Amino acid sequence: MPVTLQEARTIIEAGLAQARELQQRVAIAVVDEAGNTISLDKMDGAPLYRERFATGKAFAAVLTQMPTTQAQALRETGPERFFGMMNLFPEQIYLLSGGLPLRRDGRVLGAVGVAGGAAGMDEKIAEAGVAAWGG
């Protein structure tokens, strides 16, 4: 069963609540298993282009089927995969902390990406969204 719009909104609303609690201004994107955007929010005052960065993190997490913090290592551990992705999907992948796959029963159904927070905050906000979804 794919991630629904209602589920994407649950993920985003939980992430926004966590961002407010942490006093961060972010953008949050949820994509389906093909990397297509289901829903995207940008908080008032979030830095420039953060909605694009959030979508890029979500896309990277669904494509690699791993958190973006782990996917960064592909440059060293799997350079052919890393450079293949970067060439096939130019300007769509953003490999910084804050992208998490959405798994259910071992299958990746989509991903969430968060951008705009201080160091380490994007992933915490994404984790709150995943927890609210039940993943």
Query: Distance between terminal CA atoms of the chain?
Result: 13
5-133: CATH number: 3.30.450.150
Residue 6 burial (C-beta neighbours within 10 Å; 0-12, 13-18, 19+): exposed
Distance of CA 123 to the CA centre of its chain: 8
**Annotated domain spans of the chain:** 5-133
Q: pTM of whole model > 0.85? A: yes
Q: Are 114 and 27 in contact (CB under 8 A)?
A: yes
At 89-134, the pLDDT tens digits run 999 999 999 999 999 999 999 999 999 999 899 999 999 999 999 8
